[in-house]
Amino acid sequence: MEEHDYQLHVLKKEEARKEKQTDKANNSLVFTVDLQAVLMAPKSNVSTLYYKTKLQVHNLCFYNNISKDGYCFVWNETEGGLNADEFASIWTYFIEKKILPKVENKTDIRIIIYSDGCGYQNRNVTMSNALLNMAVKNKITIEQKYLEVGHTQMEVDATHSLIERRMRNRIINVPADYVQIIESARNNPFDVKYLEHTFFKDFRNISSYKSIRPGRSSGDPKVTDIHALMYSSSGEISYKLRFEEPWMLLPQRKSPFSAKSFEEMQNLHQTRLKIKARKYDDLQQIKEVLPADFREFYNNLPHD
């Protein structure tokens, strides 16, 4: 990295730190969110299982930087994937069901959520349309803010550390076993929701913007240059390329849409998702070392 680029990188890192401090001082609804490193099921100390492919389990965590409340959404790979619709579903549910009921008597609600800039999770047009829908439907303002690449340490990371510490030497027979472990990872239990395929929503019909790129011509800023997005109750998206800059309206044509609540959206998956035949075969071998009560779960896994 050249000296100029390095100095700019350090400056953006400092701007992000100051921005987060300012938000915490001025707003009680400031969250960080991150996906924990992939978990596996089953998990045990039996050495013969080491080289077998196992079921992937995902845990998306939100952390309230002010109240210290933690929220975790857990699902396995037969219930949902790691695509924009899955993440937009969780964010939408979290805002509508976990945040708004606690502030229903307040006005001028502004929700700020910090994350890394991962494209398929947090910085994409599906997520933006989903959050715009929430802002319009509930007459609130939502801000997404992205931390500088390489400096994405967030308060939510402590949640992952507590969970990982709690998991040490613990046996996992089926994915749902993670729920109790996560809940009990600290004295003030995390709010944990275990997700099934019927939870996830399809956002194709909620599409006001076709793109969130802050420019249209060659040489204009790209989506990856965005450091903040703001979704207004009037149905507009604004952006910042630097935290210290003023908000600018996104220069993209928008289409009218009818805002929907979480329950009104169509399901993304009609059935559970299939795993590969090899993984299914490995799991059939693994299940034989599990207590008999857990084997039926692995018998019923959808597969190729």
What Cα–Cα distance (Å) separates residue 104 from each residue in 109, 137, 196, 245? 9, 14, 28, 31
Which of 74, 72, 76 has its CA nearest to residue 300?
76
Q: Is residue 250 part of a domain?
A: yes
Q: Is residue 165 part of a domain?
A: yes
Q: Is residue 304 part of a domain?
A: no
Q: Is residue 56 part of a domain?
A: yes
Q: Is residue 144 part of a domain?
A: yes
Q: Is residue 244 part of a domain?
A: yes
Question: What is the domain count for the chain?
Answer: 1
Nearest-angstrom CA–CA distance, 13 and 7: 10
Q: Is residue 160 part of a domain?
A: yes
Q: What is the CATH number of the domain that holds 126?
A: 3.30.420.10
pLDDT tops 70 at residue 240 = yes
**Average pLDDT of span 143-172:** 89
- Centre a 10 Å sphere on the Cβ of residue 280 and count the other Cβ atoms it contains: 18
Q: What mean pLDDT, rounded, does the chain reach?
A: 93
pLDDT in tens, 67-123: 999 999 999 999 999 999 999 999 999 999 999 999 988 889 999 999 999 999 999
pTM of the model: 0.94
Q: Is residue 259 part of a domain?
A: yes
User: Under a CB-based contact definition with an 8 Å cutoff, are residues 207 and 131 in contact?
Assistant: no
Q: Return the pLDDT at 104.
A: 84
Domain that holds residue 69: 3-299
Tell me the pLDDT band of 150, cut-offs 50, 70 and 90.
Answer: low
